[in-house]
Amino acid sequence: MTIMLAGRPDPVMCGCDGAADALIPVDEALRRGLALATPVAELETLPLSRAHGRVLARALRSRSPLPRFDNSAMDGYALRLADLAGPGPWRLPLAGRIAAGDAGPPSWPRGSALRILTGAAVPPGCDAVAMQEEAVAAEGAVTFRRRPVAGENIRRAGEDLPAGAPLLPGGRVIDPRAAAVLAAAGMGEVRVRRRVRVALFSTGSELREPGERLAPGQIWNANRHHLTGALALPWVDLLDMGVVPDDPAALLSALERAAYGADLVVTTGGISVGEEDHMPAVLARIGAGIHVMRLAMKPGKPLTIGQIGGAVYVGLPGNPVSAFVTWHVIGARIAEALAGIAGGGLRKTLVRAGFARDRVPGRCEFVPARLMGLDGTGIEVVESLAGSVSHRVALLAGADGLVLIPADCDHVGRGDLLEFIPF
Ligand SMILES: Nc1nc2c(c(=O)[nH]1)N[C@H]1C(S)=C(S)[C@@H](COP(=O)(O)OP(=O)(O)OC[C@H]3O[C@@H](n4cnc5c(N)ncnc54)[C@H](O)[C@@H]3O)O[C@H]1N2
Ligand code: MOO
């Protein structure tokens, strides 16, 4: 990173840049938010078929080895290597056939081979399977041109996972990969955490629903639909309360209703410093404990995190990109922690700046950015999509992720290495 200490020709500023001393660093805000987010304690037992996307309550061990028994990796012929004496080719009579699902014979005559199909249990004494492309079967016998090596084409019991080995950790989301593992291990039912109850509303007297006719000064509600989309998760039970106007009484009653029985209350807008930003006063009225307010983050300075009774409160800024970034970087992490998801957190990679920019240091910046392909050293180059972006929601659709500019940086040079959070 090139830090330019003097002579900023054209710093990218927004009106809310300024003294950063009173601002909370993003990592600290996240730490405080996560400290409030105790995983929901209640558990449910669900059939695996209804547990997709849910969060495993505790670590599981395999009850039996995977695979359960030695079986053939190929369609071919099961044999005993001792029966291939002298130089080849070797001809053995066929003594039977085993397909996947067959129990297989308890024994088979020495000096013979068995037709075997992929997935079938290898018979006792069989020490190799020759694939059929390397054998010729005719008139009740099979001829092998090559001597298989010991164990060839045999998938051994327990080679994927021995009995008693860790299967999946607690806190794992049952995604399709985990579901396959659970099913293969015979887990017909799983113990999962109950869903996280999230109450959501947007604040703003200017907001109308998409499709509605707008009067002058009104806009369509983008944040509600971003967040209902982001929260359309199997581990979330969403109470979508729509829009609440910029009216203290209406906001207070909405907040009371939201906090009742919720694990997480999410609002957008009304948390800044204008006289129509009523949320700080309403939060004080309701007796919320406020743990984060004013972040060293751009966009997202007004993000507010607190506690209302038993619920965690996340107040996202109203500007749609600010709401998106703060949700993605912090809000969603808190929701994951409440759900008991282990090892959540943001995936980050290193990328090379395909842009140059002077800026005012103080707040770290999350800039929507597009991947432009690899440079000569095999590192992705990113193009930032704009300087000051908090209202430019249309940019999000073309972004591949957020590029992170550290708080103390006052110049990004083309080719600098930066952290990147892919979507
Ligand atoms: N004097 C100051 N003014 C502002 C500051 C500041 O520090 N001093 N901070 C600015 C920053 S940064 C942000 S971010 C916004 C945040 O304000 P609020 O969270 O109170 O949000 P609103 O004022 O309600 O709305 C801001 C903006 O976003 C539009 N909006 C709101 N909700 C939605 C929605 N659901 N869908 C689409 N657009 C929405 C709203 O119409 C405003 O244009 O404050 C700055 N001001
Ligand atoms: O900091 Mo505000 O969230 O940029 O728009």
Closest residue CA from atom 3 of ligand 2: 300
Determine the distance separating the centroid of ligand 2 and the alpha carbon of 271, expressed in angstroms.
Answer: 11
Q: pLDDT digit string (tens) for 83-113?
A: 999 998 999 999 999 999 999 899 999 999 9
pLDDT category at 71 given cuts 50, 70, 90 is: very high
How far is ligand 2, taken at its centre, from the CA of residue 396, in Å?
15
| Residue 363 alpha carbon, nearest atom of ligand 2 | 1
For position 3, what pLDDT does the model report? 29
CATH code (residue 60): 3.90.105.10
pLDDT greater than 70 at residue 143: yes
pLDDT tens track for 195-238:
999 999 999 999 999 999 999 999 999 999 999 999 999 999 99
93 located within any domain: yes
Q: Both 249 and 365 in a single domain? A: no
Asked whether residue 335 falls in the same domain as residue 377, the answer is no
- Is residue 416 domain-shared with residue 403, that is, in the same domain? yes
Which H or E run contains 142? strand 141-144
Most confident of 16-20, 85-89, 414-418: 414-418
185 and 151 together in one domain:
no
Length of the chain: 423
Among 316, 339, 362, the domain boundary falls at 339
Q: Please tell me whether residues 334 and 217 are part of one structural domain.
A: yes
Domain ends where: 126, 155, 184?
Answer: 155
The overall average pLDDT reported for the chain is 93
Q: Are both 231 and 292 inside the same structural domain?
A: yes
> d(Cα 366, Cα 317) in Å, to the nearest integer?
15
Domain assignment present for residue 12? The answer is no
* Average pLDDT rounded to a whole number, residues 11-20: 44
Do 283 and 236 share a structural domain?
yes
The per-residue pLDDT for 4 is 29
Same domain for 234 and 174: no
The finding on whether 272 has its CB within 6 A of some atom of ligand 1 is: yes
Q: 280 and 218 in one domain?
A: yes
Enclosing domain of residue 362: 349-422
- For residue 326, the CA-to-ligand 2 centroid distance in Å is 9
**Helix axes 248-259 and 279-286, enclosed angle (nearest 10):** 50
CA 242 to ligand 1 centroid distance, Å: 18
Tokens 């207070």, located at residue: 252
CATH number at 391 reads: 2.40.340.10
Number of structural domains in the chain: 4
319 Cβ inside 6 Å of ligand 1: yes
Does 160 map to a domain?
Answer: no
Which of the listed residues 12, 13, 17, 319 should we mutate to test ligand 2's pocket, taking the one with most ligand atoms within 8 A of CB? 319
Question: What ipTM was estimated for this complex?
Answer: 0.97
Q: Which residues line ligand 2 (CB under 6 A)?
A: 14, 16, 298-301, 317, 319, 322, 390
How confident is residue 15, by pLDDT bands cut at 50, 70 and 90?
very low
> What does the pLDDT read at residue 22?
83
